[in-house]
């Protein structure tokens, strides 16, 4: 199933569901893509100038790679332990920068057993309209199918069909 909203496109299997947050608009918003297995991909988009980043504040050209490294270096949540960045790859095509990230960590709440997690994300920086699009999923490692492409396929299918406003 191909879906396009606010110049953001995604392709999912036909049995997946989509839920768009009511307050979503062209410049910023959220939607959830939910699989029949109740796994979800959260998609968010926002204007670049709304991002709190050292790269944006200093007036430098914004880089997704630097932004992601900045986010993971600032993790101060005591519930998150043993964080490992397994993948942080990307490329540039025209006015778009793409990054794919995969991180593992252990989430430990007080008086609960630790839960090993995997976080997978795909981000697109559209320099044409200064918008950042991110698609993410976070799931317990024991819930991951042996064929991880079940989640990666839809995640990596997200595209920006930008037009100048």
- In this prediction, residue 59 carries a pLDDT of 59
Q: Which CATH class is domain 2-160?
A: alpha beta
Picking from 19-28, 30-39, 57-66, 93-102, which range would have the lowest pLDDT averaged per residue?
A: 57-66
Share of the chain above pLDDT 70, in %: 84
- In this prediction, residue 148 carries a pLDDT of 66
Largest CA distance in the chain: 51
One-letter-per-residue 3-state SS of 46-109? EEHHHCCCHHHHCCCCCCHHHHHHHHHHCCCCCCEEEEEEEEEEEEEECCEEEEEEEEEEEECC
DSSP reduced 3-state for 123: strand
Question: Rounded CA gap, 127 and 109, in Å?
Answer: 39
Single pTM value for the model: 0.83
pLDDT at 164 over 60: no
Mean pLDDT of the residues in the chain: 83
- In this prediction, residue 75 carries a pLDDT of 65
- In this prediction, residue 144 carries a pLDDT of 59
Tell me if 109 sits within 8 A of 79, measured CB to CB.
yes
Question: Rounded CA gap, 118 and 105, in Å?
Answer: 7
């Amino acid at each position: 199933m191909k879906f396009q909203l606010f110049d953001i496109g995604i392709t999912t299997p036909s049995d997946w569901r989509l839920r768009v947050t009511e307050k979503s608009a062209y410049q910023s918003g959220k939607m959830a893509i939910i699989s029949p297995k109740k796994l979800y991909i959260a998609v968010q988009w926002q204007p670049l100038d709304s991002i709190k980043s050292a790269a944006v504040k200093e007036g430098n050209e914004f880089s997704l790679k630097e932004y992601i490294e900045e986010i993971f270096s600032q993790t101060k949540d005591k519930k998150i332990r043993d964080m490992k960045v397994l993948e942080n790859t990307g490329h540039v095509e025209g006015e778009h920068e793409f990054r794919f990230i995969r991180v593992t960590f252990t989430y430990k709440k007080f008086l609960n057993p630790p839960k090993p997690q995997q976080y997978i994300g795909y981000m697109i920086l559209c320099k044409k309209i200064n918008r950042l699009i991110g698609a993410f999923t976070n799931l317990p490692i024991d819930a991951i199918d042996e064929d991880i492409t079940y989640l990666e396929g839809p995640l990596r299918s997200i595209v920006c069909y930008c037009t100048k406003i």
